[in-house]
Structure 1
Amino acid sequence: MTATTAAAYRDTNVLRWVGAYTASVTGDVVYFLALTWAVTRTAGPAQAGAVLAAGAVPRAVLMLGGGVVADRFGARRVVVVSDAVRCAVILAVAVAVYAAGAELWLLYVLAVVFGTVDALFMPAVGALPPQIAPQDQLGRVQGMRALAVRLSNAVGPLIGGLVLGVGGPSAALGGAGLLFGASLVLLLGVRVEPLSVRETTGPRASAWADFRDGFGYLRRNRHLTRLVIVIGLGEMCFSGPVAVGLVLLTGERGWGTGVLAGILAAFSVGGAVSALVLTAARRIPYAGLFLTGALVLTAVAITLVGRIPSPGLAVALGAVTGAASGAAMVIGNALLQKETDPRYLGRVSSVTGLCTLGLSPLLLPLAGLVAAAWGAAAFFAGCGAVCLVAAGVGLSVRSLRTAKF
């Protein structure tokens, strides 16, 4: 790894990666908005859910394989190729929609292709930070990554809505493609350090052998396995289910869309603030305890969101939840990348990605079922319980409790 001691936010190479990641995530937001809009206008809202599911299935099923691909061929190469494919496919569909209209079969094909390429992109992009920054800067890099996600989630809907209003789905899909193109240009300028520990002698193992070896590596490393579980449980509820729960909660309380928007905005602002603080922090000597403490605070705050009768307090608790869950995400991912053997970064990232993004959609229907049976507060209490379990797992391993960077 490079010997530079410059702060990550002053490293132009890291900044290029952050810029590429921001453009890519913003493109994701615009793409999903455009796709949902196009399907709804073409075939109705029921088909919109089916098309989104068609894209989610290959993403979940193939993500572990995507980690193998990243480790075999190099994370940077996989990220660049997958970004290029996404850009080309979405621009081609945008042209087709402009020329012939939004055909339902074409939107299904787009969703499946995009989900498949995402299964390659996500583990690879998660494996890149240790190759572009020294270990003592990984916390800052993860803080910048979290800030990029918050910014993209705030700006993406504005861009998507504006372009949809002006030019319709074809223009919005084209805008998403251009964002992926900008991400690709920046990624081409990112330099990565070679993984000196990568084995270069002897016959190369098969992809299936690499797949099994990845799980074997996790089984052999109890500390790392527990950390993956902590991250997966800690983030699972916040990759969509909580937003659905908030919709149900505000409807149940009769608070209206203004309060819903306020809670979601406060959540994003809280996450952005914690990301900024951790980006600026020189070091975190008690990172393991900080992680578990943030998860406990997240559990308390998200549970109270479902119980508090005041909209103003709910907004304030949304900010606390965003800050605490965001801090846990930053610290957890930084520790994971610090502790993982570079040869396995893609495969380990694919497991955490599967837990946080691949399986979390399964909680979406659960939110509705729980709210219908016991009220929305019960769902938020369940999310709090999941975060407490994550904290308990973290505290159960001494090496994780005492982890630092």
Structure 2
Amino acid sequence: MAEAIIKEEQPAIPVSFFSQKKFMLLWGVTFCSAFSIAIFLFSQSWYIVKTLNMEASLGMVMIASSIPRLLFMAVGGVIADRVSRTKILSVSNLTRSILLGGLLILLGSGEVSVYSFAVFGLVFGILDAFVWPANSALLPMLVEDSQLTRANSIIQTTQQASMIIGPMIGGFLVSWGGYLLSFSVPAVMLLCSAFLSRLINLKPASTDSSGAPGIFASIKEGFSFVKTQPFLIALFISTIFINLSVVGPLMMGLPIFVKTILHGSALDFSYMDGSMAAGMVVSSLVIGFLNVKRYRGMLATAALFSMAAALMLFSQTHFQAGCMAVLFLIGMTFPATNIPILSIFQQLVDRSMLGRLSGLLTMASLGLTPVSYAVTSFFLSNGVSITSIMFGGSCSLLLVNLIVLWKLPVFRKTS
């Protein structure tokens, strides 16, 4: 079974994927869906905080969307191997658009409550569990292996740009046309995304599902397969500890750091957050421009060590300009880690297993994010300072990186 990681020869594809209609359609799907979700999440958060005056309930809505992702992500990965991935994207985005249409009706009748948003979050989370593995597994079917790094860079740059620009657009829409407009625009964009997904129209990765094992047997098969591949073991370990050691302390701790250490304002927090996002965008653009094809494992390894070192430095930096500079560097390490690793992953894994393994990988990362938040909250509630939590997280990530480098050298040697 270990031999399955070497995929079958694919038909030749022209070198420039910009001339490939289906890749450009996928980029259009990514653009419409990423920006629509960013605008929706901003509008939802501001409505709950400003209009309903229930900021304490915002966490309930976020949990409602995160739990189904964790529960269904592995199942979504199996489905992505058996059903047309473009059909999954199309149906999911169409369903989201219809749901937002229902939200507009509730909004017009004045019946929207925080529980309405919790229900929408629950359904959106379930749909995400199917969309994300399908989307990750779709790209290698549209571009040649030599262009995977650049293609992933373009997709991730678009997603990261939506995180910066989307809330700005959402704020403008709320200010100019109110919530009816700010929720209508994402509904229309998701409808466009569903239409573009249908135009890609690719067949399922596995054309013969008559003898396929059951859902849970397929998930178990995916776990068993990971155990046979040293590169995948190292990938899963690194992904798990990035989320445990970095995501919680950094994402949850950043506003606390600004308030308690820098004694800054909300505007200062926005500058800090923007610095990290800018680093992500710049790094994605540079990697895409260079189209790194060799030493990608070494690049990802160096980025992981740089991430740990930068977080350690950030925890000990107590002036805003320095913090912004370090956050920019931290932001750069995320794409420098994710894009090379994802490109290797997509290139090596057989197309028929890419969906379920993408689902397991996403579950390993996103599933542990709430755990990281919980651990961070536990330490904070017991009097541990946010700087100590960040420093401890950087040390644990550094230790895990050293262990992976020592025990699983295939991670850095894979190109």
Q: TM-score, normalised by structure 2?
A: 0.89
For residues 277 and 38 of structure 2, what CA distance do their matches in structure 1 show?
A: 15
Q: How far apart, in 1, do the equivalents of 2:196 and 2:127 lie? A: 19
Q: 3-state DSSP class of the match of 2:200?
A: coil
Query: For each residue in 1:37-90, what CA deviation from the matched residue of structure 2 results, as whole angstroms up to 9, or x when unmatched?
Result: 333333612222212212221121111111111112132221221111111111
Q: Secondary structure at the match of 1:343?
A: coil
Match of 1:49 in 2: 59
Partner of 2:373: 364
Tell me: CA distance 1:330–1:222, structure 2 relative to 1, closer, same or farther (3 Å).
same
1:347 maps to 356
Q: Quick check: 2:43–2:182 contact (8 Å CA) kept in 1?
A: yes
Shift in Å, 1:22: 2.3
Q: Given the alignment, which residue of 171, 189, 204 partners 2:181?
A: 171
Give the drift of 1:192.
4.2
Q: Which of 117, 132, 141 pairs up with 1:122?
A: 132
Aligned to 2:251, which of 243, 246, 271? Answer: 243
SS of 1:342's equivalent?
coil
CA contact (8 A) 2:245 2:393 kept: yes
| 2:7 alignment partner in structure 1 | none
Distance in structure 2 (CA, Å) of the matches to 1:163 and 1:189: 29
Structure 1 residue aligned with 2:279: 270
Q: 1:284 to 1:371 in 2, by over 3 A?
A: farther
CA contact 1:231–1:332 (8 Å) conserved in 2: no
Once the two structures are TM-superposed, the CA of residue 241 in structure 1 deviates from its matched residue by 5.0
In the alignment, the residues of structure 1 paired with residue 207 and residue 400 of structure 2 have an alpha-carbon distance, to the nearest angstrom, of: 34
Deviates more, 1:312-321 or 1:31-40: 31-40
CA contact (8 A) 1:83 1:183 kept: yes
SS of the residue aligned with 2:353?
helix
Is the 1:371–1:378 contact (alpha carbons within 8 Å) kept by the matching residues of 2? no
> Which amino acid in the other structure matches residue 399 of structure 1?
V
Deviates further, 355-364 or 285-294:
355-364
| Contact in 2 for aligned 1:9/1:140 (Cα 8 Å) | no
CA distance in 2 between counterparts of 1:308 and 1:362 reads 26
Alpha-carbon spacing, 1:201–1:11, altered in 2? closer, same or farther (3 Å):
closer
Q: Which amino acid aligns with 1:363?
A: S
User: Matches of 1:191 and 1:74 in 2, distance apart?
Assistant: 8
Q: 1:178 to 1:379 in 2, by over 3 A?
A: farther
8 Å CA contact 1:226, 1:393 repeated in 2: no
Q: Distance in 2 between the 1:352 and 1:216 partners? A: 14
1:280 and 2:312 aligned: no
Query: Does residue 413 of structure 2 align to residue 402 of structure 1?
Result: yes
Give the conservation status (yes or no) of the 8 Å contact 1:143–1:275.
yes
Give the direction of change, closer, same or farther, for the CA distance of 1:323–1:63 in structure 2 (3 Å limit): same
Q: What's 2:266 paired with?
A: 257
Identity of aligned residues (%): 21
CA contact (8 A) 2:149 2:340 kept: yes
Aligned-residue offset at 1:35: 2.4
Deviation (angstroms), 1:269:
1.3
Q: CA deviation at 1:209?
A: 2.2
224-233 or 237-246: which moved more? 237-246
Structure 2 residue corresponding to 1:154, chosen from 161, 164, 168: 164
C-alpha deviation, 1:300, in angstroms: 0.7
State the distance in 2 between where 1:338 and 1:233 align: 24
Separation in 1, partners of 2:403, 2:86: 32
**1:165 Cα deviation after fit:** 2.4
Deviations 1:3-60 (A, max 9, x none): 1242345544323212211221222222222222333333612222212212221121
- 1:290 corresponds to which residue? 299
Q: What per-residue deviation string (whole Å, max 9, x for no partner) do you get for residues 320-355 of structure 1?
A: 111112211111111111121211111111122112
Partner of 2:238: 230
- Residue 325 of structure 2 aligns to which amino acid in structure 1? A
What amino acid maps onto 2:255 in structure 1?
V
Name the SS of the counterpart of 1:205 in structure 2: coil
Greater alpha carbon shift after TM alignment, 118-127 vs 97-106: 97-106
> Separation in 1 of the partners of 2:216 and 2:35?
34
Distance 1:18 1:234 in 2: 27
Residue 333 (1) aligns with residue 342 (2): yes
CA-to-aligned-CA distance 1:195-227 (integer Å, 9 cap, x gap): 4xx463863322232222222222222322222
**Cα distance in 2 between the residues matched to 1:19 and 1:349:** 21
Q: CA deviation at 1:107?
A: 2.4
